[in-house]
Amino acid sequence: MKHRIGIDLGGTKTEVILTRANPLEVVDKVRVPTGQEKGYHFILGQIAGLVQDFWARLDDDPVVGIGIPGTINPKTGLVRNANTQCLIGQPFGQDLAEAIGLPVRVENDANCFALAEARFGAGKGYKNVMGIILGTGMGGGLINEGHLWVGAQGIAGEFGHSTINFEGPKCWCGNRGCLEVYISGTAAEANYQKRSGQFKKLAEIYPLTGEDPHAQATIQDYIHHFGLGMANLISCYDPDIVILGGGASNLPLLYTEGIEAVRHHIFNDELDTPIVQNQLGDSSGVFGAALLADS
């Protein structure tokens, strides 16, 4: 294997990179609108075309991996739990492999994030890594002894849909009071809107905490639930490090008061687990996808 192709299929944008296999070095990349509104076959055709363009420049067959905002049912090969909804119920991996003409490994995007950060980012040197994305939704991925742990049913790391308040708001997944409903970036924005009557992005809410009581309360709620959720996860998995990604991971308070809130709830006398921001930024998903072939 001389080259890898990694694809990050997002709700709005799709990125494809061509890298040398070892050491991982980006040769070329392209970013296009996903075109979700144009449907499943458009998405398939567009990605296949971009991969074939890169492949045509190589003198051997690359390995191809793709991260998607959903999970694959290992029994059926069909996509489930995807917020790019036209993928749901489709044999996406099989269809994409046929369209490209090469085998393709498909994984959840948060798993790709965790893999890339563990190998090349904030988790380098750690054996057991928990990656958490706090963005539109909440996703997670687990790296065990340096390798991606997808679980028996392919849902390992789907922490976002564990209930922390069974009387809480209804989640799109059908449960109530899921962690995602409290600590995704979207959840914080919805909380602010409910309190103030105004919509603002989380990045705009955070700087207002000194002057706007609604912003102050929104961030306090967020920190409280972050502490609760992360303490549960760390108590279950006890990873060597927790790496945060997604828009909400940019809140500086997570790494001070947020960690204190985790310490308050954890089932231990002290909290030794580092909780840190990612190092690869938006590129982690596409790098992780490129690494899937030997994950």
The first and second tokens of residue 133, run together, are 């994305």
Q: Is 88 in the site for Zn ion (CB under 5 A)?
A: no
Q: Is the peptide bond before 239 cis (omega within 30 degrees of 0)?
A: no
Coil, strand or helix at 57: coil
**Maximum CA pair distance of the chain?**
61
Closer residue to Zn ion, CB minimum distance, 18 or 171: 171
Size of the site for Zn ion (CB under 5 A): 5
83 contributes a contact to Zn ion by CB under 5 A: no
Structure tokens at 200: 């603002």
Under the binding rule (CB under 5 A), the answer on residue 173 touching Zn ion is yes
Asked if 179 is part of the footprint of Zn ion (rule: CB under 5 A), the reply reads: no
4 contributes a contact to Zn ion by CB under 5 A: no
Indicate which single residue of 171, 219, 242, 293 sits in contact with Zn ion (rule: CB under 5 A). Answer: 171
| Rounded least distance, CB 155 to Zn ion, Å | 12
The answer to the question of residue 183 lying near Zn ion (CB under 5 A) is no
Closer residue to Zn ion (CB): 52 or 83: 83
Between 7 and 179, name the residue whose CB sits nearer to Zn ion.
179
Q: Which range binds Zn ion by CB under 5 A, 52-60, 151-159, 173-181, 261-269?
A: 173-181
Question: Which residue lies nearer to Zn ion by CB, 137 or 285?
Answer: 137
Cβ atoms < 10 Å from Cβ of 227 = 22
Contact call for residue 214 and Zn ion (CB under 5 A): no
161/200 with CB nearer Zn ion: 161
Cα–Cα distance, 36 to 291 (Å, whole number) = 25
Scanning the structure block, which residue is given the tokens 């965790």? 114
Q: What's the length of the chain?
A: 295
The residue (of 36 and 184) whose beta carbon lies closer to Zn ion is: 184
Tell me, residue by residue from 132 to 161, as one string, x for binding to Zn ion by CB under 5 A and - for no binding: -----------------------------x
Nearest residue to 241 (alpha-carbon basis) of 269, 216, 272, 215 = 272
Find all residues with CB under 8 Å of 125, minimum gap 6, and list them: none
CA dist., res. 248 & res. 256, Å (int): 14
Rounded to the nearest whole angstrom, what is the least distance from the CB of residue 137 to Zn ion in the complex?
9
**Binding residue for Zn ion (CB under 5 A) from 83, 144, 162, 175?**
175
- Cβ-based nearer residue to Zn ion, 159 or 192: 159
d(CA 292, CA 177): 32
Tell me if 178 contacts Zn ion by CB under 5 A: yes
Q: Cβ 90 to Zn ion, closest distance in Å? A: 22
* Continuous H helices in 109-208: 109-120, 180-183, 185-196, 202-205
CB 253 within 8 A of CB 205: no
Enter the DSSP assignment of 149. -
Residues in the site for Zn ion, rule: CB under 5 A? 161, 171, 173, 175, 178
